[in-house]
Amino acid sequence: MIRIANGQGFWGDWLEAPVRLLEQGPLDYLTLDYLAEVTMSILQKQRQRDPNLGYARDFPPLMARLERLVRERNVKVIANAGGVNPVACAREVCRMAPSLKVAVVLGDDVLDRIDEFLAKGYEMRNLDTGEPLEAIRGRILSANAYLGAFPLVKALATGADVVISGRCADASLALAPMIYEFAWREADWDLLAAGTVGGHIIECGAQATGGNCQAGWQTMPNLADIGYPILEAEPDGTFVVTKPPGTGGRVDLHTVKEQLLYEIGDPRAYITPDCIADFTTIRLEECGPDRVRVSRVRGRPRTDFLKLSISYAAGWKAVGTLVYSWPDAIDKARAADRIVRERLARLGLRFEEVHSEVLGAGACHGPAAAPAPDPPEVQLRIGVRSQDRSAVDRFTRELIPLVLSGPPTATGYGEGRPAVHEVVAFWPALIPRHEIQPRVEQVP
């Protein structure tokens, strides 16, 4: 049996979580998932400004903090902290935690190969809209293939203490140590699917252990000290989901089921670079306090394609807010919204979208919300998006004047003008698997 924990569900997750997991232990592997869909584009911009950047900058100092414990307890760390510059990330880890042996997985970055792919006739159509990539060719900021678990396994085989990758499938981070330790093969589809399900359960960190859990949240123990998830994985593909003893949160059928269904499509076909997992075969049972056993996972052969994560510049946006108080707070907010829109129209500004919501009056649930009575206050929230930055910039000056020139009781403008942000959009596509050649390098 091996114990695999995940201490980071996204870049920006609780900084103490990986440290506490290692202290609480025992662990064999610690995985850290840093990359959301648009994180790659932010990192790409950072690398453009400085060729030594472009990775999750929280990671090297974290490894410095963990260095002694990782060595003493012989825990291997697997992280997709490399972003668009895994080698620079690895060098920084070596500098800050010099006693650790580091290996990197490369080959996911295909930004320089887009023209080659197009020339070969791969259209890389948007998986959601069907549009060919040609439509945004000139605006692409980053392009990475989701790699699977097997390149991570090769990196583990070098004897590294720390394995750093760029874009890889989230669930592959936890599957890799199972393949490595249990000598699973590339066609062991049921086993690979089982490990993938395990990886999916822990990839969002505390969302498996009671965080963001609808079921009984009021009685969820000690969320301030929530335990992050641990898999106790067996060579036969069964595993137990648990968390360190004495920590907050909960692991039961409810918390595990909510995470199993999180961000999936067809549950019969959960597609990763490693296999296709069938979630309708999974059997769950509570086998002790904060322990859920997972078994009977079935899998099918992997597809001949890898998913590409492409990001591109998609214009500019800004979101501004104003608060209105009782009486008639909702009506005042809606009147203010009409005034802003009329003033924008008179200026002749062009927007792709102007979207208004009244927070406190059904902004989240829309038509599904119950009609609101006259609340003590609401927040008007207006967002605009345009290819024309100056139009968005002008919008940011149109809210505060309403404090003196609009409906009464406008407040909450203390932050001043809202900021203008570049919109970096995500373009999911497919590429034949044989075009991508992952490789492993040891650093330094």
Partner 1 sequence: MKIPLARIAHARSGDKGDTANIGVIAYQERYYPILVREVTAERVKRHFGDLVQGEVERYELPNLGALNLVLRRALRGGGTVSLRVDAQGKTLGAALLRMEIEVGEHELEEGP
> What are the residues binding partner 1 (CB under 8 A)?
37-38, 128, 207, 212-215, 254, 257-268, 279-284, 314, 317, 319, 353, 355, 357, 359, 363-370, 381, 383-385, 423-426, 428
Strand order in the sheet with 298-300: 270-271, 276-278, 298-300
Q: Residue 166 or residue 320: which is nearer to partner 1 going by CB?
A: 320
CB of 100 to partner 1, least distance (A): 34
Phi, psi of 220 (to 5 degrees): -65, 125
Question: Crossing angle of helices 59-72/86-96, nearest 10°?
Answer: 60
CB of 143 to partner 1, least distance (A): 16
What is the rounded (10 degree) CA torsion for 264, 266, 272, 275? 140
Element (H, E) at 200: helix 189-202
Phi, psi of 251 (to 5 degrees): -120, 110
Token output for 315: 């214009």
* SS3 call for 290: coil
Structural contact between residues 413 and 399, judged by C-beta atoms closer than 8 angstroms: yes
Residue indicated by tokens 């102007």: 354
Q: Residue 268 or residue 338: which is nearer to partner 1 going by CB?
A: 268
Token output for 251: 């692991």
Cα 92 from chain centroid? 23
Give residues with Cβ within 8 angstroms of 60, minimum separation 6: 89, 92, 93, 95, 96, 97
Q: Residue 275 or residue 424: which is nearer to partner 1 going by CB?
A: 424
CB of 64 to partner 1, least distance (A): 32
Could you please report the per-residue DSSP string of 242-282? E--TT-BS--SHHHHHHHHTTT-S-TT-EE-SS-EEEGGG-
Q: Residue 116 or residue 128: which is nearer to partner 1 going by CB?
A: 128
Nearest-angstrom CA–CA distance, 47 and 52: 7
Q: Residue 64 or residue 354: which is nearer to partner 1 going by CB?
A: 354
Q: Residue 154 or residue 381: which is nearer to partner 1 going by CB?
A: 381
Q: Residue 85 or residue 207: which is nearer to partner 1 going by CB?
A: 207
CB of 363 to partner 1, least distance (A): 5
Q: Residue 24 or residue 295: which is nearer to partner 1 going by CB?
A: 295
CB atoms within 10 A of CB 244: 20
Q: Residue 80 or residue 207: which is nearer to partner 1 going by CB?
A: 207
Mark out the alpha helices in 73-188 (DSSP H runs): 86-96, 114-119, 150-157, 172-182
CB of 27 to partner 1, least distance (A): 26
Element (H, E) at 341: helix 329-346
Q: Is the dihedral of CA 106, 111, 115, 120 positive or negative?
A: positive
Q: Residue 95 or residue 268: which is nearer to partner 1 going by CB?
A: 268
Nearest-angstrom CA–CA distance, 85 and 107: 11
